[in-house]
Structure 1
C-alpha cells in the first residue's frame, strides 16, 4: 500500500483544500465578527513583512490573505440585498 503523502498531486489537493477551508472559515466568522478577519489578515501580513520565510512560503501566505479577503464579499453582498 503506497503512502498518499508521497504523491505530489495528493499533497497539492490536500493543501488547496486546507487553504480553502481556512479562508472560508475565517470569512464566515467575519460576517458576525468583522474584526476577526481584519486581525487575521493584518497578522498574516505582519508575518510576511517581518519574516525571513522563503519566497514560496510568503507567496502562499499572501494568497491565503487574498482568499480570506475575497471569500466574505459574496456573503456580504447577499446579506445586503
Structure 2
C-alpha cells in the first residue's frame, strides 16, 4: 500500500511532522508512506497566469496515485 503523509505546517519543530515520521517508521513493514511538505506551496497568492505551480502539481499527482492520504495539521488554541 502507498500512502502520502501530508505535513500541514511550515514549523520546523512541528509535533504533527514528528507524528507522521513516527507513523512512517512504525508502519514501514505494512505500507510505503511518503511525507510531503506544504511549506513551499503558495497559500493565498494566485499566480498571475492562473496556473498551478509545478510543486503543487507534483503533489497532486502523488495523491492521485496513492491508496490514501494521512494529513497532519496543527491545532491552535
TM-score range, shorter chain: 0.3 to 0.5
Structure showing greater radius of gyration is 1
Taking CA–CA contacts closer than 8 Å with sequence separation of 6 or more, which of the two structures ends up with the larger relative contact order? 2
Structure (1/2) with the larger helix percentage? 1
TM-score by length of 1: 0.31
Structure (1/2) with the larger strand percentage? 2
